[in-house]
Chains A and B, each alone.
Chain A
Amino acid sequence: MANLNSVLPPLTERSGPLRWMRKNLFGSWLDSLLTVLGALLVYWAVKGFLTWALTVAEWEVISANLRLILIGQYPIEQAWRLWTWLAILFFLAGNSIGIWARGSKYAFVVLFTPALLILLPFGSASRIWLAALTLTGLIGWGLGRARPHALKRSVIAGWVILLPVIILLTRGWSETEGSAVPIVTTNLWGGLLLTFLLTVVAILFSFPLGVLLALGRRSKLPIIRWSSVAYIELVRGVPLITILFMAQLMLPLFLPEGVAIDRVVRAMVGMTLFSAAYLAENVRGGLQAIPRGQYEAAHALGLSGAQTMTLIVLPQALRLVIPILVGQFIAVFKDTSLVAIVGLFDLLGIAKTVLAQPAFLGLQREVYVFISLIYWVLSYGMSYLSQRLEERLGAGGR
């Protein structure tokens, strides 16, 4: 960094590794001490973890049970149904990226993730499917980029009907034996598949319920307001696990004789009812932030109350709380692990059964580290991508 100019250097801080270190690491003696301690901590943690992961850990338990962890006991010969809706999902995702976030490199990362997963110990059929996922995603992206305006509506429609399609494909519809799409009952859904479905269903159904509860809480009608308040505060005041226990143990007692609900559906109901109360509070925050002038202006334009709410207030309020809602959705995803306590085979539940296999007893660390990794990557990925997309789309700001 020799200064060759005879002119005096400008009064900016010069950057150099030493200077940077001096400023950021060894500013004072306290700073230096913290730096050394921090560096030691990093060294010790990284070394300890790597030694364990590379030499001690027995990862066969994961490779042997990868299928159980991902889809549970879902019949392997029917797995093409799951791949199919994943392909649709990726096509739509690629399409949406092409239309709304063309330049975002982060969103692109999503499309290439399946191609990267080929490196994991999957069978050859799964590898082909994974490659196909990236391919459909890219095709969708290309189409979306080429004709953004023509495709906009159909893509939105596609997202709307995606969940029914997913559920229908996962479950199947044919009762007759030997047909192409026989019914796969919910007790065979497990692993990441069940976690995913629980999350998506809970999020999608708690959304309208939460919005209604938020509106109810702001209503001027006392009975409706107090019912909403009672519901929201009651649910927010108790742990999720008690609600899940109630859904599993008490709900059957509440129903008339002869009516029974599938227990996966019971868990979905429990998660939905729980999540709706939290969502309601978040949406209420957004509603409160809408200035009165908006209502008055809408009224002056001759809009009715319902029109004001659906056309003016709610869109603004929801846009305001998008970041909070994403956080809430991630929380739901993490909370689904509690269904393992009531005996469902979600990611955590399947981990428990894997640990009961005679060949792999005592490998708790490996299994739980792997499960944690799945949770971490997915929820970190979701929050990171949503932050980037929010920046691009300007959501959350006004």
Chain B
Amino acid sequence: MQNQTQQKNSIPLWRDERVLNILGQAAFAAALILLALIIYQNMKAGLAKQGITISLDFLKGLSGFDISEFSFPYDRNSSYWQAYLVGLVNTLNVSILGVLFSTILGIILGVARLSTNFIINRLAAFYLELVRNLSLLVFLVFWYLGVFLKMPRVKDALLWPGDIILTNRGVGIPWGLPTASFPTFRLILLAGLLLALIVFFSLRAHGKRTGRPPLSLLWSLLAFLLIGAAGWLILPEAPLTLDLPFVKGLNLSGGKILSPEFMALTSGLVLYTSAFIGEVVRAGIQSVSKGQVEASRALGLNAFQTLRLIVFPQALRVIIPPLTSQYLNLIKNSSLAIAVGYPDVFYVSNTIQNQTGRAVEMISMVMATYLLFSLITSALMNWYNQRIKLVER
């Protein structure tokens, strides 16, 4: 670049690279803006012909339709905006549970894939190949119509140990009902959480000082559980009573009833995503060279310590980036809820768009919502990635 600066005077303007760069970019930007303007004009003209203007005011209108599952009060007299929020919360529910369970199942699968047990190893390999080559949408539709709807009817409900009831009207699981002392208990739990954090950080600081990393996570968890248990026993009345599901007429009652749509979507996403996470975990563990394990054994660390202190921290660095994209995929794939009839944000917005004809507004809103989810997830995972990267020296 240096010699070019010196030659600048001898180069005519139209061949000067810097001028060309600026001009080129200006032209590109201008073209981009022009394109946006053309699209906007066309859209406005097209909508004006139908007497529609772009605005979000319609969200205040009465929705007029019912939604099967909602986490806060909602009925047909609620506004479109509230309907949208219902869908949003449902998407969050599925995403959070999906991420949690697919991580657990994915780790199990990844470890099983490396097991020395022939049957377990082959089973895991078969499962991974089976699921990874299916089309998720076809799988979900089959999973809902072919499995969850084919469960026994309520009158022949299948009872599983642990008071779980399986029917094609949904899955009933025991659930805690809050009592009068629940608010106090919540405060106690908060105190327990604080203590757990203190334990965690002081143990870690201690570990850094002495060079012997303690099981900080385990101890802080114990501290939390201890406070929780103590609170439960001290309070005059148990903060939660166990509510068991039971069959009432043609429906399920009591406990927590998970609809077949919710179950099919969440479990389908978990089964699908965990196969990909399993591969990520396997690759991560295999990326740690054998010498590391042998060296750590030679230093006298036992198998558990080797896994915890040597293999896992190194594998994690390889695992986190692809794991992040799997999480993002799961969140985005939850939009396939429309295929099984679960009212997530995309499905609800689709209904709203049907009733109001506001395609432009609704699709933009849904896109913005998913974009926000993706950005938040990426930000969290990147932050975590940065943290574990610090371990590297």
**Touch between chains A and B, by CB atoms below 8 Å:** yes
Max chain B C-beta neighbours (<10 A), residue from A27, A237, A246, A255: A237
B29 at the A interface (CB under 8 A): yes
Contact B139 A34 (CB under 8 A): no
Chain A residues near B29 (CB-CB < 8 A): 223
Contact A255 B42 (CB under 8 A): yes
CB distance from A157 to the nearest CB of B (A): 32
Instruction: Identify B339's interface contact among A39, A222, A249, A341, CB under 8 A.
Output: A341
Contact B133 A340 (CB under 8 A): no
Contact B137 A38 (CB under 8 A): no
A371 to B332, CA, bound (A): 23
Max chain A C-beta neighbours (<10 A), residue from B118, B135, B371: B135
B366 at the A interface (CB under 8 A): yes
Contact B360 A250 (CB under 8 A): yes
Instruction: Identify A253's interface contact among B43, B117, B146, B338, CB under 8 A.
Output: B43
A327 to B42, CA, bound (A): 38
Chain A residues near B150 (CB-CB < 8 A): 365
Contact B32 A237 (CB under 8 A): no
A256 to B145, CA, bound (A): 42
Contact A27 B146 (CB under 8 A): no
Contact residues of B: prevailing secondary structure: helix
Contact B363 A376 (CB under 8 A): no
Given A365-B145, A375-B133, do A41 and B123 touch, yes or no (CB 8 Å)?
A: yes
Chain B residues near A39 (CB-CB < 8 A): 119
A368 at the B interface (CB under 8 A): yes
Contact A35 B119 (CB under 8 A): yes
A113 at the B interface (CB under 8 A): no
For residues 218 through 242 of chain A, which have their beta carbon under 8 Å from a beta carbon of chain B? 221-224, 227, 234, 236-242
Instruction: Identify A372's interface contact among B116, B139, B346, CB under 8 A.
Output: B139
Chain A residues near B117 (CB-CB < 8 A): 24-25, 27, 31, 34-35, 38
A348 at the B interface (CB under 8 A): yes
B370 at the A interface (CB under 8 A): yes
For residues 32 through 51 of chain A, which have their beta carbon under 8 Å from a beta carbon of chain B? 34-35, 38-39, 41-42
Chain A minimum-CB-distance residue to B45? A257
Chain B minimum-CB-distance residue to A365? B146
B130 at the A interface (CB under 8 A): yes
A379 at the B interface (CB under 8 A): yes
Given A24-B116, A254-B43, A334-B136, do A239 and B370 touch, yes or no (CB 8 Å)?
A: yes
Contact A42 B123 (CB under 8 A): yes
Chain B, 357-372, contact with A by CB distance < 8 Å: what is the 0/1 string?
0011001001100110
Chain B minimum-CB-distance residue to A240? B332
CB distance from B137 to the nearest CB of A (A): 5
Q: How many residues of A contact B (CB 8 A)?
A: 54
A234 to B25, CA, bound (A): 21
Instruction: Identify A234's interface contact among B46, B346, B371, CB under 8 A.
Output: B371
A337 to B338, CA, bound (A): 14
Instruction: Identify B47's interface contact among A253, A256, A340, A368, CB under 8 A.
Output: A253
A209 to B238, CA, bound (A): 62
Contact A249 B135 (CB under 8 A): no
Chain A residues near B152 (CB-CB < 8 A): none
Instruction: Identify A236's interface contact among B120, B129, B338, B374, CB under 8 A.
Output: B374
CB distance from B113 to the nearest CB of A (A): 13
Chain B residues near A330 (CB-CB < 8 A): 133
Chain B residues near A347 (CB-CB < 8 A): 138
For residues 323 through 370 of chain A, which have their beta carbon under 8 Å from a beta carbon of chain B? 330, 334-335, 337-338, 340-341, 347-348, 364-365, 368-369
A351 to B116, CA, bound (A): 42
**What are 7 A-B pairs at a CB distance below 8 A?**
A223-B28, A249-B363, A253-B43, A330-B133, A335-B135, A338-B336, A372-B139
User: What are the 9 A-B residue pairs with the smallest beta carbon separation, nearest first?
Assistant: A237-B374, A24-B118, A368-B142, A38-B119, A239-B332, A239-B335, A334-B135, A237-B371, A364-B145
The residues of A with any CB-CB pair to B shorter than 8 Å are: 23-25, 27, 31, 34-35, 38-39, 41-42, 221-224, 227, 234, 236-242, 245-246, 249-250, 252-257, 330, 334-335, 337-338, 340-341, 347-348, 364-365, 368-369, 371-372, 375-376, 379-380, 383
* Given A34-B117, A38-B120, A348-B138: 18 more A-B contacts, CB < 8 Å: A34-B119, A34-B120, A35-B120, A38-B119, A221-B25, A223-B25, A227-B28, A238-B366, A238-B374, A239-B332, A337-B137, A338-B137, A348-B141, A364-B145, A365-B142, A365-B146, A372-B142, A375-B138
